[in-house]
Amino acid sequence: MTISRQSPERDSATIAAIATPPGGGGIGIIRISGTGARPALSAIFHPKSTRETRSHQLTYGWIIDPASNRPVDEVMAVIMTAPNSYTREDVVEIQCHSSYLVLQNILALVLKTGARLAEPGEFTKRAFLNGRIDLSQAEAVVELLQAKTGEGHQIAVSQLRGGLYEKILKIRETLAGIRAILEVAIDFPDEDVEIINVVAMRENITAYLLTPLQAMIESADRGKIYREGISVVILGRPNVGKSSLLNSLLKEDRAIVTEIPGTTRDIIEEYLDIKGIPVRIIDTAGIRENAEAVEKIGIRKAREKQQDADLILLLLDGSNKLPPEDLDFIASIDPQKALIVINKIDLVPDHSETLDHASFKNRPVVKISAKTGAGLPQLEEAIFTLVTGEQKKWEPGHDCVPNVRQRNSLNQALAASRRLLRALSENLPPDLIAIEVQSALDSLGDIVGETTTEDILDLIFEKFCIGK
């Protein structure tokens, strides 16, 4: 079932929720939206001033429990009158002290006025249904909240400002023009005048459909890395410096480092930013044969992480000869996702070679000292290049970056556009050609929410937190 933004059956209840995360903070916010938002505020809010409350202006006062006439908290309240609000409905926000008890008490008073608790993402869903934003902008909201790097943030901001919508709109305008020509040809099949200029239409399809669609799909492949990040596992024998490398990359003492083999027995995971890519870096237990029971569990977990990792940093001790265990490591790792890192170069002052490079089998190699930090910039550069295939940082802020759902719809639109091109070449009847035009339009409509089914909408908005 396709949902309509203008459906009269849409839920018109007044909704309310806590819009700030739990935990200590200076301010907590209760958000209310719907026709009952202003009456709900009037029922529990006593402004200090007697002047009329104006839209989009903060008003100081107290929340009072109507049943007991007891004060609950000193607050600032703001009314945002429809349609000039986030949801295009009357919206009220109450700014109170960020205490769990205070927030829950105020929310309970609001719900007693007849509002109901909002579902996850329901405020943004109403913004979409009421036409304030399209579906790609709605998805950008949750991506903005989840962004882990500056580049991920810029991707979300670009989409929130309508960058993807504008590109989709231009393609749809081209498709609408083609459909209009085809409809004339269908309505007047016996006209002697050539209605469809096949050569010109093919050129338009190539320039204004295929080229931009392919470009957006390619940007989705790149942007997925910036949006979702990668997992990098540090593997190696005990005491080669895995935990020291983790600490050096994070620039903090996150893992315990000792000279005792087998200090790390469990998985340690942290995030870092490598040239805009969110990297989940994973320190693992040193892999060796003669390990005790607890250490063996850590080694098993390390092997499991190795299978799931996007990239493996195989750490070797550069101050000693290559032992047989390291040769086994090298042979067992997929060369497409392995980077050999030679550590402890600070212990080889004359920079003499202690490792047999022929054993690396043409895998990329970086030399570092986790202790001094030497070679770490080169390591980050190598990680970036291996993951992206690029030598320099990509600037996602200058491009729109579709997510996985949008990419699938773009692929469908591209496939329909190619069928459209083929149908023209085969001189098929206009009504059959028009089917492919409509198919492409429907696929693009899914991206902006014009032809999206209700179950897909539910899946999108359930990713949101309550209050957004």
**Looking at residues 156-162, what average pLDDT do you find?**
88
Q: Rounded to the nearest 5°, which phi and psi values hold at 2?
A: -90, 130
Q: With bands split at pLDDT 50, 70 and 90, how would you rate the model's confidence at 27?
A: very high
263 pLDDT higher than 50: no
**Looking at residues 118-132, what average pLDDT do you find?**
94
DSSP label of 208: I
Q: H-type helices in 274-365, by residue range?
A: 293-308, 324-332
225 pLDDT higher than 80: yes
Q: Which element (helix H / strand E) includes 226?
A: helix 211-228
Q: With bands split at pLDDT 50, 70 and 90, how would you rate the model's confidence at 406?
A: very high
Q: Rounded to whole angstroms, how far apart are CA atoms 236 and 341?
A: 10
Q: Tell me, what's the pLDDT at 414?
A: 96
Long-range contacts of residues 349-354, Cβ cutoff 8 Å, at least 24 apart: 354/318, 354/319, 354/320, 354/321
Q: Tell me, what's the pLDDT at 253?
A: 66
Q: Tell me, what's the pLDDT at 114?
A: 95
44 pLDDT higher than 90: yes
User: For the ranges 9-23, 151-165, 181-195, 233-247, which has the lowest average pLDDT?
Assistant: 181-195
Farthest-apart Cα atoms in the chain, separation: 90
Q: Rounded to whole angstroms, how far apart are CA atoms 45 and 94?
A: 9
Name the percent of the chain lying above pLDDT 70.
Answer: 83
Q: Tell me, what's the pLDDT at 402?
A: 86
**Looking at residues 12-30, what average pLDDT do you find?**
90
Q: Tell me, what's the pLDDT at 1?
A: 41
User: Is 0.85 surpassed by the pTM of this model?
Assistant: no
DSSP 89-105: S-EEEEEE---HHHHHH
Q: Tell me, what's the pLDDT at 459?
A: 82
pLDDT digit string, tens, across residues 351-372: 555 555 656 667 788 899 888 8
Q: Which residue has the higher pLDDT, 363 or 111?
A: 111
Q: With bands split at pLDDT 50, 70 and 90, how would you rate the model's confidence at 158?
A: confident
Q: Rounded to whole angstroms, how far apart are CA atoms 433 and 2?
A: 24
DSSP label of 278: E
433 pLDDT higher than 60: yes
User: For the ranges 130-144, 304-318, 368-382, which has the lowest average pLDDT?
Assistant: 304-318
Q: State the virtual CA torsion across 374, 378, 381, 387 in degrees, nearest 10.
A: -100
Q: Rounded to whole angstroms, how far apart are CA atoms 393 and 387?
A: 12
Q: Tell me, what's the pLDDT at 266?
A: 52
Tokens 């005048």, residue located:
193
**Looking at residues 396-402, what average pLDDT do you find?**
62
Q: Ranked by mean pLDDT, which of 97-111, 217-231, 393-407 comes out on top? A: 97-111
229 pLDDT higher than 60: yes
Q: Tell me, what's the pLDDT at 416?
A: 96
Q: Rounded to the nearest 5°, which phi and psi values hold at 443?
A: -65, -40
Q: Rounded to whole angstroms, how far apart are CA atoms 285 and 300?
A: 9
Burial of 90 (0-12, 13-18, 19+ CB in 10 A): buried
Q: Tell me, what's the pLDDT at 409?
A: 94
280 pLDDT higher than 50: yes
Structure tokens at 56: 């989009």
310 pLDDT higher than 90: no
pLDDT digit string, tens, across residues 170-182: 999 999 999 999 9
Q: State the virtual CA torsion across 398, 404, 405, 409 in degrees, nearest 10.
A: 70
Mean pLDDT of the chain: 83
Q: Rounded to whole angstroms, how far apart are CA atoms 313 and 341?
A: 6
Q: Are strands 59-65 and 116-117 parallel, antiparallel or unpaired?
A: unpaired
Neighbours of 233 (CB within 10 A): 26
